[in-house]
Structure 1
Amino acid sequence: MENGNTANEPASFWTQANALLRKNLTFQKRNVKTNVGLILSPFILCLLLVLLQRLLEYQLDKAENKCGCVCVRRQGDTCLEEECGIEHSDLDQFATCPIPSPPEWPPLLQVPAPQYRAVRTDYFPFSDFPNTSCRKNGSCPVTMLFTGTNQSFGEIISRNMIPSTLSTIYSSDIMASLASNVVGSESEPGNTNFLEPAFFSDLPIYYLQNQCTQNSTFSVSVQMSGISKQQEVICAQGLRLWRNSSSEVNNELYKGYWRSNIERQINEIAAGYDFLNSNGSIFNVSIWYNSTYKKDTGFNPIALARIPRSVNLVSNAYLQFLLGPGTKMFFEFVKEMPKPETPIKLDLASLLGGVFFTWVILQLFPIPLTSLVYEKQQKLRIMMKMHGLDDGPYWMISYGYFLAISIVYMLCFVIFGSVIGLNFFTMNDYSIQSVFYFIYINLQISLAFLLASLFSNVKTATVLAYIGMFGTGLLADFPFHFFVQDTLYVFFILLWESLTGREHLLFYGRLKNLKGSALTQAVEESLKSVNLFHGGVADKQAGKYSGGMKRRLSVAISLIGDPKVVYMDEPSTGLDPASRKNLWNVVKRAKQDRAIILTTHSMEEAEVLCDRLGIFVDGGLQCIGNPKELKARYGGTYVFTMTTSIDHENDVENLVRQLFPNANKIYHISGTQKFELPKDEVKIANVFQAVETAKRSFTVSAWGLADTTLEDVFIKVARGAQAFNTLS
């Protein structure tokens, strides 16, 4: 199979790259269904997201999720006019209603619940706090800590902050009356001031006094948008404690936090005030507050903090210090800005945002990783390298191939998402998206190349790749994995099942620097030499070949380009007798123009194909020569075999000893015995005559006289080597 002089020259970088690229393109052409599935997968994901969005919108459009309405004019069963508003809505519907005139709420302090107010305990050993008995009847005071450089000034200001009497509560204007007092709530604040949870939580409103009197609890009727509600108002004693420094305040605030003690108990202090260098001409104050109520977890909207009343309270106390007890800045109410009707909307694409779409890109990560590891595990990269494929062209084309798949996938994803109308795509600049996706997929492919060097098992690599995808917080997309699994595994097997025999030889021929007519001629001669040319077999996909045909194609691949030395490792293993014979004929024709080094466990194969053979035992070469030489050297005997009944075994052995005194019995089981007979003592005519004589004395079931086989030689050499190793 002479393939032209160019085959003796190594292929250039671009020739190898061209060969690999052509093979990749041919493979892609053969796998149209897989490619269509790969392209459609982002479309399916986008479509699924849109369907979920439509289902969600349908649920949100129901009456229970919209502003409450009542029919104010009806004709028969038909409603002619509806009136909608917060007065017809429950708490779940309230947020969707238009609020042209938001309600006014009295400014509140954040007051600890009675069971959590600071008391003296073993882990909170401050002597000026009340003991724990006050928690039994809910009479624990609301504690505030104060510090500053001027204690006398600070104590005057702190006394002005908490009143001694309750201002008059006017039933005609309950909210303003409450605002004129120092009131607070233990309820958790909301995200807006359209509704004040203190008035909708069934919890009491607390008003702070220096000292609470008996019968200091009462209720008021609160009117809100036509809704009347009885609100309980309870007195809470305000406890003012002075500390010498801000570090002491910090220490006590922290010890009251439940994570600061092993008992996980709460000792909550309402607030802390540091007057710093304040005096009659300077007002400078820092305020501590409990930020836990803001619920700033990073995932949910931050709740409002009830700090304005704390600022107003200390400011009024300072004004009273300067201008007298009748001076104050009246903090009338807290109020939201007006708002139109706001239907509940939930955009899944925006809600999932970068997490979902980054996860979608991660679906591509297992493709390069498992492909590279699979090739490493099966030593397929080494095989292509033996055929002349250098590292440079291979890595360039492999990287480019994975990058092309990723780019096509992402283009389809962005286009489909934009056509369907996902806000994530339509409301973000496409140039920014392009840069982000391009950088991301390049980093992803680079990471796959890096991690591939750490794994040697494709199953381990696959599992870890999908664990990484699970780490995004979403379920892995198994249907997508099914779409691309052919690309993962079929692409890198030695015989690509989607490529034909001719296309395999064209690929490897190009790697051997064959071009043009020389390449075409070499491919045809190779196909003819292995009997794959006629009947259209050459143009069938390799996946449809029988085992023998695949072996013959593999031999043709190893021989194309006229290599001078070819290595074959057990080429006929697993073949039926007919296929094995055909393969042997191919090898016998091929060995006429080159050296073939063949390893095999079949002595028959070695004797048929090898002109010169060596026997290895325990990794060491024991002998070398042609088959006749080895038989003569390690054989020199005939093997005489006779089978009789067990009763006549001794008769057979006596017969052999009489004829051949130097015979050596090498096998004996159930009436069958084998003897090695020195060739210089054997006359074949005498053997036949002795057997015929023996048949008259006892029954002979079978007998034979055979020359030494290569298998006998191998056994003798192996035994000799093992005996030598044992002695040494």
Structure 2
Amino acid sequence: RVNLDPAEMVSATGGRNGNRTRTRGRGRALARFCRQHHALLLKNLAFQRRNWKTNAAIAAFPVLLCALLVAIQAVVDRELDRPPFRCGCEGGHCGIQHSTPIQAMSCEVPAPPRWPALVQVPVVPAFVHGRPARCSNASCAAPVSVLLTGLNRGLSQSLGRGLFPDLSPSDYFLMPKTMNSSSSLDHLSRVVPGSRTLPAHELFVEPGLVPNETLYVIQSKCSWQKRNVSGNSDGGMPLQLDMECVQGLPLWCASSSVINRRLFNGYKRANKRRRSNEFLAGYDFLDTSKGLFHVYILYNSSFSRDNGHHSMTVLRVARLVNMASTAYLKQVLPGVNAEMRLEFLKEMPKAAIKMKLDLTTLLDALFFTWTVQLLLPVILTYLVYEKQQNLRLMMKMHGLKDGPYWLISYSYFLSLSGAYVTFFAVFGSLIGLDIFRLNSYVIQFLFFFIYINLQIVLAFLLASFFSSVKTASVISYIYVFGSGLLGEALLKLFIEDTTFPRPWLVIMELVPGFSLYRGVYELSEYAAAGSYMGKPGMQWGDLNDPINGMKDVLILTSIEWILLLLVAYFLDHRPAWHPIFLFGILSTKHSSPSYRANPRSRRVFADMAKDDVFLEHKVVKRLLKEMDTRNMIICHNLKKVYRGNNRNPDKLAVRGLSLALHKGQCFGMLGPNGAGKSSFINMMIGLVAPTCGTAYIHGMDLRKDMNEIYANIGVCPQHDLLWETLTGREHLQFYGRMKNLSGAALVKAVEESLKSVNLFHCGFGDKSVSKYSGGMKRRLSVAIALIGNPKVVYMDEPSTGLDTISRNDLWNVIKRAKKECTIILTSNECPSYFSAL
């Protein structure tokens, strides 16, 4: 790096000893708040008008999502109305007797059929708990086990042997091969029938008795193997069954805990093979005696739940109870033909129900949470884009206050978010989404209004921590989808758990995504309940319900909205130059505090041996002593040091620069890249803080009065800071209004600025900047710097990218402009170009 030395400065026209004039007043009056508000509003309206396709797409996005939901729902409904799911029909007759277990759900059942009570027969290997299967035939079913325990071991084991009543071979072969409903129920009620088919949640059709299924008869000894039986069920459903004998083995356990452990281990082993539990059931006869029947029946339904069945599906427990009751009667009443018959199970009647899959219920709160939160990345990337491209800084250097910027930006985002949510709610209501249609619209409006405000404030807050649009976009999308998934997988469990501490739930809802999920969850729950019961959803009176979290969400999000607004505004205005500021380390551009504390860094290294440097330093000291800083630019010992990272040495960019300029001078700074020219300009326009020293612009201190300085300067930065969708004329109109121009004066200033930089002819001034060449953008940046007759103009390499003719025209523009202001420019070109100035 070549350090910029005061001796390298070249001043043209006016000289160092030119007449210094004094004027009263500190400078141009600042544009009022309303004027700045008006200028920014018109600029944003022009910007949004040229981006109307993007804005329309954002506002219509929820409508498109709802339309997609409707289309998918129509396809699903049409498929569910097809024969695989519709109540079965055969030979012109329709009904449950012609239906599969899936089709039976949609059938009308005025008189439900009577189904025999079955047990769930496990599938076990040929060796059961160390005992070989007592069936040499490979096609014979392996035995099943029943676990027993009780205080009276003898009685318990005796009852265990009586669980499986035997039929003699003669009784078996006397069974008719063709069975009707009455005969099948009578014969099957005297044995223990079972099936390896998992039961349905409702018994409109018994899956274990559909045609071509195997019906197992569990006995203590199997003297027969298989038999084919056909017939009709009570509901008229045809039966075509293979009956097969399975041996039942009672096994003694020391205690009920041993039974629990064996059932659990048997479930784990069976689950690996994708089978049902290895054990039929467990019986704990407790204190059962001749005069007291007391039994616990243990079974495992986990495998049913893992295979998509409802967690409350009863794995055919009714027959297990009947087995113990019958065995006890025969034990306590020997020689008496006493039995407890269980002939059938029967469901309640039901009407025909068209099978329907409600996608909105299936997606539930997660879908709506994601949809509303998708605006956050849009707002955040817009704010970070202006920050990354230094567009906001450019506006601030031309006098824009933070108040109008926040007001206009916030109003735009609120309008966009309001349109987004309104379209979502209105269209959702039109297509019949219960979450919008049934709940109170006032509650919905209040909830979504508060949340979109909170979301906008959150975007402003997050924008303070990002300087890259890509990074902000990625992080925001991770937050959106992550908070939604965590809400569905974690927060929902805590909401439904009534024992979970409510204060902890409120703390979790401090995350805006979780509070949105909780509110949408409550709306969806009330809508589902209202749809099921034919009543309206959430109303104002429901907010006082202790289990309703909507009231907490409304209060929490309102408070959080106000608090985060203050924090976001504070972070946006954090003094980047203050070394002990709490959040200073989070700023992407901050000064080097170590140089403030190091006295050695305050030393001036200017080469006083050079006469011009010595004289200029002397003039500056005299002017400061006389307090003659008005109508002049005075730099006093300006120094900038960039702290080295990763043990690299510090870089001295500007060392002890002292300079005094007055109106009418054009001061050129020459030097190669890295000489410190841009560092000096950046300090003068407030982009970076000087390590030490200061400057006075028309009596205003660089350290204290930057807001007033901005109203009196024009800046042409090294890189063009322009909105690609705006035209050159719209740029000049905006910055002209920021300089307090209006009406005919503004129109005249814009026309003259376009003509001065050759953008008026051929209509270039009314074309969007995205169609400009690099040289045209550079000329527009120069015109922006000069509009409004600023008192001081800074130009950082204004001739970059210009051809010879355009460069000469540029110098002519600067020559005319310097009569009314002071111009400081930098260049790495030949000094001969300054001769004309």
Shorter-chain TM band: 0.5 to 0.7
Q: 1:287 aligns with which of 274, 294, 297?
A: 297
The 3 A distance-change label for structure 1 pair 280 and 605 is farther
Alignment of 1:187-586 (within 5 A): 187-200=197-210, 202-209=212-219, 211-224=220-233, 225-258=235-268, 268-276=278-286, 285-295=295-305, 303-317=313-327, 326-391=337-402, 393-395=404-406, 397-422=408-433, 425-431=436-442, 433-434=444-445, 437-438=448-449, 441-442=452-453, 444-445=455-456, 448-449=459-460, 452=463, 455-462=466-473, 494-511=721-738, 530=757, 541-560=768-787, 563-586=790-813
Counterpart of 1:588 (choices 812, 815, 822) is 815
Q: Which amino acid aligns with 1:404?
A: S
Instruction: Please give the alpha-carbon distance, in whole angstroms, between the structure 2 residues aligned to 1:598 and 1:539.
Output: 28
Indicate if the aligned counterparts of 1:119 and 1:132 stay in contact, CA closer than 8 A: no
The answer as to 2:109 corresponding to 1:107 is no
CA contact (8 A) 2:302 2:311 kept: no
Q: For 1:20, give the aligned amino acid.
A: L
Task: Give a deviation string over 1:681-713, Cα, whole Å, max 9, x none.
Answer: xxxxxxxxxxxxxxxxxxxxxxxxxxxxxxxxx
1:182 aligned to 2:188? no
* SS class of match (2:64): helix
SS at match of 1:233: strand
**Given the superposition, is the C-alpha separation of residues 266 and 39 from structure 1 closer, same or farther in structure 2, using an over 3 Å criterion?**
closer
Q: Which residue of 2 aligns with 1:163?
A: 165
Q: Which has the larger radius of gyration?
A: 1
Q: Distance in 1 between matches of 2:373 and 2:284?
A: 52
Partners of 2:476 and 2:755 in 1: CA distance: 45
Equivalent residue letter for 1:44: L
Say which SS state the counterpart of residue 245 (structure 2) adopts.
Answer: strand
Q: 1:313 to 1:594 in 2, by over 3 A?
A: farther
1: CA distance, partners of 2:400 / 2:136: 85
Amino acid at match of 1:551: R
2 CA distance for matches of 1:327 and 1:607?
123
2:119–2:315 CA contact under 8 A, matched in 1? no
Taking a change above 3 Å as real, the CA distance of residues 243 and 57 of structure 1, as seen in their structure-2 partners, is closer
SS of 1:270's partner is: strand
Q: Distance in 2 between matches of 1:7 and 1:543?
A: 35
Per-residue CA distance 1:288-319 (angstroms, 9 max, x = gap):
32223432578979755322333343455556
User: 1:203: Cα distance to partner?
Assistant: 3.7
- How far apart, CA to CA, are the structure 2 residues paired with 1:132 and 1:584? 109
Q: Distance in 2 between matches of 1:460 and 1:132?
A: 69
Equivalent of 2:145 in 143, 146, 170 = 143
| Offset at residue 196 of structure 1 (A) | 1.0
1:20 aligns with 2:40: yes
Calculate percent identity across the aligned residue pairs.
49
Distance 1:497-1:251 versus aligned 2 partners, 3 A rule: same
CA distance in 2 between counterparts of 1:518 and 1:319 reads: 110
Q: State the distance in 1 between where 2:451 and 2:152 align.
A: 59
Distance 2:38 2:288 in 1: 82
Q: Which digits, 9 at most, give the CA deviation of each residue in 1:124-171, with x for residues without a partner? A: xxx6x5589989665532122233455455445434433344787564
1:597–1:293 distance in 2 versus 1, CA, 3 Å? same
Question: What is the aligned partner in structure 2 of residue 49 from structure 1?
Answer: 69
Contact 1:270–1:290 (CA under 8 A) maintained in structure 2: no
Task: Label 1:555 to 1:161 Cα distance change in 2 as closer, same or farther (>3 A).
Answer: same
C-alpha distance after superposition, 1:314-341 (max 9, x if no partner): 4555566666675554333222222233
| Letter of the structure 1 residue corresponding to residue 48 of structure 2 | Q
Aligned 8 A contact 1:118 1:267 in 2: no
- Rounded to whole Å, the distance in 2 between the matches of 1:84 and 1:203 is 23
Counterparts of 1:280 and 1:10, CA distance in 2: 104
Contact (CA 8 Å) 2:288, 2:295: kept in 1 or not?
yes
Q: Does 1:31 align with 2:51?
A: yes
Whether the 8 Å contact between 2:304 and 2:310 is mirrored in structure 1 is: no
Output the CA distance in 1 between the equivalents of 2:416 and 2:63.
15
Query: 1:118, 1:390 → 2: CA distance?
Result: 86
Q: Any conservation in 1 of the 2:106–2:354 contact (CA below 8 Å)? A: yes
SS at match of 2:778: helix
Rounded Cα–Cα distance in structure 1 between residues aligned with 2:56 and 2:397: 34
Match of 1:635? Answer: none
What do you get for the CA RMSD once the two structures are aligned? 4.4
In structure 2, how many angstroms separate the alpha carbons of the residues matched to 1:328 and 1:450?
Answer: 77
Task: Summarize deviations over 1:367-396 as a string: whole Å, max 9, x none.
Answer: 123323433433334333433445565455
Q: Following the alignment from structure 1 to structure 2, what is the Cα–Cα distance between the partners of residues 312 and 605?
A: 112
Answer whether contact 2:116 2:343 (CA < 8 A) is retained.
yes
Q: Is the 8 Å Cα contact of residues 31 and 740 (structure 2) preserved in structure 1?
A: yes
Quickly say closer, same or farther: Cα 1:253–1:505, change in 2 above 3 A: same
Conserved 8 A contact 2:88-2:100? yes
Secondary structure class of the residue paired with 2:114: coil
Q: Which runs of 5+ in 1 are unaligned?
A: 72-81, 121-126, 474-492, 612-728
Contact 2:212–2:240 (CA<8 Å) still a contact in 1?
Answer: no
Shift of the 402–58 alpha-carbon distance from structure 1 to 2, 3 Å rule, reads same
Letter of the 1:43 counterpart? V
Letter in 2 for 1:233: M
Give yes or no for contact 2:47–2:725 (8 Å, CA) kept in 1.
yes
| C-alpha separation in 2, matches of 1:582 and 1:135 | 107
Distance 2:315 2:68 in 1: 40
Q: Which amino acid aligns with 1:571?
A: P
SS in 2 for 1:295: helix
Question: What secondary structure is seen at the aligned counterpart in 1 of 2:65?
Answer: helix
How far 1:217 sits from its partner (Å)? 3.2
* TM-score (normalised: structure 1): 0.65
The amino acid across from 1:178 in the alignment is L
Aligned residues: 569
Q: Tell me how far 1:193 sits from its aligned partner.
A: 0.9
Change (3 A) 1:245 1:90: closer
Q: Distance in 2 between matches of 1:375 and 1:259?
A: 61
Alignment of 1:647-658 (within 5 A): none
CA distance in 2, matches of 1:292, 1:591: 87
Three-state SS of the structure 2 residue aligned to 1:161 is: coil
Aligned-residue offset at 1:112? 0.5
- The TM-score normalised by the length of structure 2 is 0.58
How far the C-alpha of 1:238 sits from its partner, in A, is 2.0
| Counterpart Cα distance in 1 of 2:62 and 2:374 | 10
Verify the 8 A CA contact 2:58 2:420 in the aligned structure 1.
Answer: yes
**Shift in CA distance, 466/498, structure 1 to aligned 2, threshold 3 Å:** same
Distance 1:304 1:149, change over 3 A: closer
1:251-307: CA deviations, max 9, x gaps? 322322337999999872222234456667776654332223432578979755322
Query: Is the partner of 2:346 in helix, strand or coil?
Result: coil
SS at structure 2 position matched to 1:23: helix
Q: Could you tell me how far 1:351 is from its partner in structure 2?
A: 4.0
